[in-house]
Structures are given as C-alpha cells and as structure tokens.
Amino acid sequence: MQVITSAPSLPPTVNSLRLVATRRQRVSLSATAALLAAHFAFVISIAFYKTELAVQLIPGLSLAIVLGFSTVGFALLLTFGFVIWVDRVHDTAVQGLRDGGDYK
C-alpha cells in the first residue's frame, strides 16, 4: 500500500500564468528597446558627427573607438543583467507555479 504524504498540486490559474508571461515579455522587450536605442544612437552619431568622433583622445584612440567599445560593453551588461533576472526572478516564479503555488 502506497501512502501519499502531500496533497496533489492544482495546476496554476490562467491569470497567474499570464502575469508571469507578461512580466517576462515586458522585461525582455525593455532590454531589447534599450539595446536597439544604444546601437542606433551609435550608428546615427557615426553618420552625422564624423568630425566630432574623429577626435583623438590619445594617439591611436579616437572617441569613435571608445563609443564603439562602450556600446558593446552595454550590450554585454544588458545581456548579463537579463540572464541574472531570469535566473533569480522569472525561474523562481515559474518553479513556484510548477510546485502548485500561485503568482501574485
């Protein structure tokens, strides 16, 4: 004879699933918008401010190079931040729904 020690978990409500999905979508679209804004700002600055970006900060290092590396660094930080958010917040909420909890 098998003894069940815990009550069967109920599936999460549609509203809870929708809240978790909406929050994930909002965060991912915000990160995408920030990345696109930074990239297009850099590209537009190259197109319209060539002489200003050609300023040599030190010999062999122009402002354009610094801004280019800054854009790439921003993209990496944004990606790492999103991955950390997914690991700490989103995955925790999804696991709570799987365990039968409800998202608030």
The three-state secondary structure class of 40 is helix
pLDDT for the residue numbered 28 = 95
Q: pLDDT over 70 for what percent of the chain?
A: 85
pLDDT tens per residue, the chain (104 residues)?
565 555 556 666 778 888 888 999 999 999 999 999 999 999 999 999 999 999 999 999 999 999 999 999 999 999 999 999 999 998 888 888 888 776 55
pLDDT for the residue numbered 98 = 82
- Own/partner pairs, 31-40, CB within 8 angstroms, 24+ separation: 31/78, 31/81, 31/82, 34/78, 35/74, 35/75, 35/78, 38/71, 38/74, 38/75, 39/71, 39/75
pLDDT for the residue numbered 37 = 97
